[in-house]
Structure 1
Amino acid sequence: MWTPLPGCKANGIYSTYHPYIYASPQRQTWLDQAEPEYSVYDFDNYRYFLGPNLQVGNIYPRDYARTFFDGMRESGQENPVNLLRCAWAGSQKYGALVWSGDIASSWSSFRNQLAAGLNMGIAGLPWWTTDIGGFHGGIPGDESFRELFVRWFQWGAFCPVMRLHGDREPKNGGLSSSSGAPNEIWSYGPVVYEICRKYLLIREQLRGYTRRLMAEAHKKGSPVIRPLFYEFPDDPQCWKLGATQYMYGDAYLCCPVVEKGMRKMDVYLPTLEHGEQWAFFSYTESEGRTWEGGSIIEVDCPLDWMPVFVRKSRA
């Protein structure tokens, strides 16, 4: 069903969806396509009530989120959060949790997600997620894809929302009822399972910290994942680095492994205030060695570990 936006009166539209949504005990909804989905990418030919697509088209995802948000609030639900794959300035006011869409299961797509998430946060949309492992393709039994899946999963533990989804190969069923192969963490073998289990525990360990970041995002609009220059604007080196490193809040420096086969990497530790130090983060505790910052170091990144450093004064 297409919601007839933007420009027309949509106050009664939510009532059409209401019986289906509230037949389930769930109170968050996967609204999916919010662009809307175009069968032909010929934007000159699309028209809305308010005007041509090229002039007003980006209003659609915002009003789409707002329609459901207002309807859910009016029906008595507090703080609705809905999963959408498209947003625009202002969507964050209407409970929009945005994911990056049906992306490829590839290393290049993985690298693109880092930049996408950081840009979304800077643009004022802190609730953002991605399909861990990508959506299109990927064979759980293939060792090459397993490596990509692990690296994506590790990064996902330090994203605003950690979310696993994908249409894996080989597909089962006929053309009208085909479904992807299993995609649970135990579908990738015992080695991958143990790594993913560790990162789920890390995510749980960071629950309180993540709640604080979400509260800060709500009050101040601060991004949950942050480019280095956001947290360290006086460090010139932080403006030169791309999306290969970022901050999870103000305490954790995350260094995702975005290249196949990488087992060592160079990491830049931003300059800290006097008396502050960086330390390795681990699941059990921070390791003993510390750094003052303002330098590049080489670190190991075996398959079961994504380098993360903790700013000890902020954790």
Structure 2
Amino acid sequence: MKKNYQDKGVDLFWLDEAEPEYTVYDFDNYRYQNGTNLQVGNTYPVGYSKAIYDGQKASGKTDIINLVRCAWAGSQKYGALVWSGDIDSSFQSLRNQLAIGLNMGIAGIPWWTTDIGGFHGGVDDNDDFRELVTRWFEFATFCPVMRMHGDREPHTEPLSNEGGGKMPSGGATEPWAYGETVYSIMQKYMRLRDNLKDYIRVQMKNAHEKGTPVIRPLFYNFSQDDDAWNVEDEFLFGDSILVAPVLYEKSEQRLVYLPEGDDWVNVFTGDLVSGGQTIPVKTPIEQIPVFVRQVDWSHLEKAFESLN
């Protein structure tokens, strides 16, 4: 890797398959020096990231980070930016991602991301998928890392009959691949992400220095609020922003719980809402419910102007 990539200018790696992937899921049937996969398999991705990290560090690299498909406790020490793998393109999968991301953060691995829209099954010109990828894009705007990826349909034709050219490629997955309506929505959220750079930089610094999750359950900041412990379909993006992703298809509104102890500003309407209550919030396709603590609104208001 050093000879063929790093020495030619590659600073970080997409390490991909770190589990490793098995042909037979009989975990007692695979043997390593330290024991069977059933005994030691979960430590494999830690050693996988460590091996690359150690090589990069020995060659003088600093601030090391690599995109990797699997992790375990301690992987964060070795620059592991983890994504959730080759997941299904469905709203059920989107709901799973929220749970996965929050658990990863609480487990001490703050650098986490997903394939926006899922990896398997998305069809570029299908209206149902366009709804899904839009909702997923809105959610991903408030994830630690925001990235597009996926094996879209229909596949392209192979480029040749030789070598790698024999392999077809997935369809386009750039934001403009899903029609003008979707593209215009995604542009707004890309601008928002860019506008939030200073805010995100602070959250990333806290994650690096103190292990503070970039995304976290409501109870992380509002542990004295008993109701906050029961909310599993919302999260905090940093210290100031509450996000309630749209997790079901054809949703026109959803209920949002606002933690007690703060007043909250609806970023789309500017309405001020007292905490400690659940309220209905409209969810047209271009809006994901987002609230900002009133005490921080003056610092963040300008960033959210791109949504209106």
TM-score (norm 1): 0.90
What is the CA RMSD across the aligned residues, in angstroms?
1.3
Match 1:194 to one of 180, 184, 199: 184
Query: 1:20 & 1:150 partners in 2: Cα distance?
Result: 38
Q: Which SS does the other structure have where 2:255 is aligned?
A: strand
Query: 1:204 & 1:143 partners in 2: Cα distance?
Result: 28
Residue of structure 1 equivalent to 2:141? 157
Deviation at 1:82, TM superposition (A): 0.4
Residue of structure 1 equivalent to 2:253? 264
**Range with greater deviation from structure 2 (290-299 or 93-102):** 290-299
1:173 partnered with 2:157: yes
Query: 1:25 & 1:156 partners in 2: Cα distance?
Result: 29
Amino acid of the structure 2 residue aligned with 1:84: V
Kept in 2, the 8 Å contact 1:106–1:148? The answer is yes
Deviation at 1:26, TM superposition (A): 3.2
Q: Identity, % of aligned pairs?
A: 52
Residue of structure 1 equivalent to 2:235? 246
The one-character-per-residue Cα deviations of 1:236-269 (angstroms, maximum 9, x if unpaired) are 1111122x11100110010100110001111111
Deviation at 1:36, TM superposition (A): 1.2
Alignment of 1:32-181 (within 5 A): 32-174=16-158, 176-181=166-171
Query: Which structure has greater helix proportion?
Result: 2
Alignment of 1:2-41 (within 5 A): 17-22=1-6, 24-41=8-25
> Closer, same or farther in 2 for the Cα pair 1:233/1:151, shift >3 Å?
same
Match 1:303 to one of 262, 269, 285: 285
Deviation at 1:147, TM superposition (A): 0.2
Residue of structure 2 equivalent to 1:183? 173
Q: Which SS does the other structure have where 1:200 is aligned?
A: helix
Kept in 1, the 8 Å contact 2:153–2:170? The answer is yes
Query: 2:4 & 2:121 partners in 1: Cα distance?
Result: 31
Residue of structure 2 equivalent to 1:12? none
1:235 partnered with 2:235: no
Deviation at 1:270, TM superposition (A): 0.6
Deviation at 1:25, TM superposition (A): 3.0
Q: Which SS does the other structure have where 1:26 is aligned?
A: coil
Amino acid of the structure 2 residue aligned with 1:281: V
The one-character-per-residue Cα deviations of 1:55-80 (angstroms, maximum 9, x if unpaired) are 11111110110111111111121111
Deviation at 1:40, TM superposition (A): 1.4
Q: Which SS does the other structure have where 1:268 is aligned?
A: strand
1:255 partnered with 2:255: no
Deviation at 1:288, TM superposition (A): 3.5
Query: 1:24 & 1:306 partners in 2: Cα distance?
Result: 42
Query: 2:185 & 2:8 partners in 1: Cα distance?
Result: 33
The one-character-per-residue Cα deviations of 1:73-131 (angstroms, maximum 9, x if unpaired) are 11121111101111111100000000000000011111100000000000000000000
Kept in 2, the 8 Å contact 1:103–1:136? The answer is yes
Kept in 2, the 8 Å contact 1:132–1:156? The answer is yes
Kept in 2, the 8 Å contact 1:265–1:298? The answer is yes
Stretches of structure 1 lacking an aligned partner (at least 5 in a row): 1-16
Amino acid of the structure 1 residue aligned with 2:79: G
Query: 2:285 & 2:294 partners in 1: Cα distance?
Result: 25
Residue of structure 1 equivalent to 2:162? none
Query: 2:243 & 2:140 partners in 1: Cα distance?
Result: 11
Kept in 2, the 8 Å contact 1:73–1:79? The answer is no
Residue of structure 1 equivalent to 2:305? none
Q: Which SS does the other structure have where 1:180 is aligned?
A: coil
1:291 partnered with 2:280: no
Q: Which SS does the other structure have where 1:19 is aligned?
A: coil
Deviation at 1:23, TM superposition (A): 5.2
Aligned length: 291
Query: 1:95 & 1:170 partners in 2: Cα distance?
Result: 35
Amino acid of the structure 2 residue aligned with 1:310: V
Stretches of structure 2 lacking an aligned partner (at least 5 in a row): 159-164, 301-308
Match 1:206 to one of 196, 201, 212: 196
Deviation at 1:24, TM superposition (A): 4.4
Query: 1:215 & 1:106 partners in 2: Cα distance?
Result: 33
Residue of structure 2 equivalent to 1:7? none
Q: Which SS does the other structure have where 2:31 is aligned?
A: coil
The one-character-per-residue Cα deviations of 1:199-255 (angstroms, maximum 9, x if unpaired) are 00110111111111111011111111011111111111111122x111001100101
Amino acid of the structure 1 residue aligned with 2:190: L
